[in-house]
Amino acid sequence: MTDISVSTDTPKTDIEPLSETYQNDVSLRSRDIANLIHPYTNLKKHAEEGPFIITHGHGVYVYDDQGQKYIEAMSGLWCTSLGFSEQRLIDAAQRQMQELPFYHNFSGKGHIASIELAEKLLEVAPNTMARAFFCNSGSEANDTAIKMIWYMNNALNRPEKKKIIARKNAYHGVTIATASLTGLPLNHNDFDLPIQNILHTECPHYYRFADMGDTEEQFADRLAHSLETLIQSEGPETIAAFIAEPVMGAGGVIVPPHTYFPKIQAILKKYDILIIADEVICGFGRTGNYWGSQTYGLQPDILTCAKALSSAYMPISAVMVSQTIYDIISENAHRHGAFGHGYTYSAHPVAASVALETLKIYEERDIVNRVKTLSPRLQDGLRRFIDHPLVGDVRGIGLLGALELAQNPVTGEAFDPKKGVGAYFVKRAQDHGMIVRALIGDVIAYCPPLIVRDGDIINMMDITEKALDETYHWVKSG
């Protein structure tokens, strides 16, 4: 039986006093403002308001520089799956630092950590995967997948087969190529993106984009037809791959209609188009299976992962490819004399050791069944807000969920983005001791660590109720 009563196997200690070191250090904020550029931040506003500084964490909780405690209901950035005090991961990093703090994989060189991690990752991967290549982030992994596909099609003398289809509202990274795949205006505006050979098809967001009266089946049929029309208009001989998150994360925690992926996958097979599964958020048990691809019946040719690969304790990501793809790029690398791609920190031994220990913990603690057991607590907890006058839609799967706030929940009419309703909710939740994230369209995302307990989820829902009510009163008064 899966144990859901404890969040970690580390000793429970009262560590809140650690933050007293920082409580009188008023210069931290001014030093931050004077020196840092913060990602995904209104930089002008930040210069006026200053940072929210986290000093330490324990289990599913983090603490700020004033000693305040927060349940981290977003696992940081969808990533800290084992919480903020997993001693085994700290020990793994320390052991590797003492033994071999760095070595690389260039020119055929190897080290034990990279070999063992590749072996273990392929053991738990879908059986279509045959080789693993390591990077440092989800962006780098997806960027590498694009390069591999282009490299492969050049090797096959198909220089025109280069276009990659992503989806509107998708998130696949922020490099020049992966930000182009990302289907969000914020990531394109004034960056001269997207680049050529990147296309976007419709987003499978039933609540927001289904026609009035559409069933989910009809909506999925329409999306599949739209994809096929795009492929035909561009020319199937020019389309190399389709990339998808099983559940779209930053685009709004968008859970696809049940028949969506089977319909999409059939079209891709028909036109000899590769499938890239972006498992950066959905991998390692998040959706109730080890991979989101298993949850939705996807059979990817390439699978990318990151975040929970090391519980975010060290930066590391992976690209796994099928035997067919590996054979082609291997032969092409032989023709050129080497595979001309890689990063200094690819399979960094410390990151690889931490990732390997993470995978061992998932296995030993039966993390997938733990998610299955806890999933109803989170999903039912969120669904209780479906009748709240501020909530238009509730959705999720596994330990991933969202509330979509709406001006008119019945029609789906959204709030004016300038009003900042989602941001106001996030601030109210934070004041009550919970960190969540507002996504585009006033979507409130939940992605707690996989070690979360029943009591933690109850706490999350209680805070959610308070923040919703306070946000609703603020909206009505404005």
Split at pLDDT 50, 70, 90, the class of 1 is very low
Q: What does R_g of the chain's alpha carbons equal in angstroms?
A: 22
Torsion of CA 297, 299, 300, 304, to 10 degrees: 50
- pLDDT above 90 (res 176): yes
What's the one-letter identity of residue 375?
Answer: S
- For 97-113, how does the pLDDT look when each residue is reduced to its tens digit (9 = 90+)? 999 999 999 999 999 99
Tokens 């289904």 belong to residue: 210
Count how many residues are written for the chain: 478
- pLDDT above 80 (res 19): no
Average pLDDT in the chain:
94
CATH 3.30.200.20 fits 16-86+367-477, yes or no: no
Stronger pLDDT, 209 or 1, i.e. the higher one: 209
- pLDDT above 90 (res 175): yes
Q: Dihedral sign for Cα 225, 283, 384, 472, please.
A: negative
Residue 331: CB atoms within 10 A of its CB come to 11
Gap between the Cα atoms of 61 and 82, Å rounded: 11
Question: Which CATH number applies to 89-364?
Answer: 3.40.640.10
> How confident is the model at residue 21, as a pLDDT?
58
Bond prior to 204 in cis (omega within 30° of 0): no
Averaged over 319-336, what is the pLDDT?
98
- pLDDT above 90 (res 6): no
Split at pLDDT 50, 70, 90, the class of 2 is low
Averaged over 244-258, what is the pLDDT?
97
- pLDDT above 80 (res 376): yes
| Entry pTM | 0.93
Count Cβ neighbours within 10 Å for each residue of 189-206 and write b for 16 or more, e otherwise.
eeeebbeeebbbbbbbbb
Domain span(s) for CATH 3.40.640.10 in the chain? 89-364
Token code pair at residue 17: 């006093």
- For 65-81, how does the pLDDT look when each residue is reduced to its tens digit (9 = 90+)? 999 999 999 999 999 99
Domain span(s) for CATH 3.90.1150.10 in the chain? 16-86+367-477
Stronger pLDDT, 12 or 321, i.e. the higher one: 321
Show the CA angle centred on residue 32, arms to residues 28 and 37, nearest 5°: 165
Averaged over 312-333, what is the pLDDT?
98
> How confident is the model at residue 368, as a pLDDT?
98
Gap between the Cα atoms of 117 and 61, Å rounded: 29
Averaged over 276-282, what is the pLDDT?
98
- pLDDT above 60 (res 16): no
What counts of helices (H) and strands (E) characterise the chain? 17, 15
Q: Quick check: helix, strand or coil at residue 447?
A: coil
- For 342-371, how does the pLDDT look when each residue is reduced to its tens digit (9 = 90+)? 999 999 999 999 999 999 999 999 999 999
Torsion of CA 76, 82, 83, 87, to 10 degrees: -130
Gap between the Cα atoms of 120 and 219, Å rounded: 39
Q: Which residues are 137's β-sheet partners?
A: none
> How confident is the model at residue 478, as a pLDDT?
75
Which phi and psi (to 5°) does residue 409 adopt? -60, -30
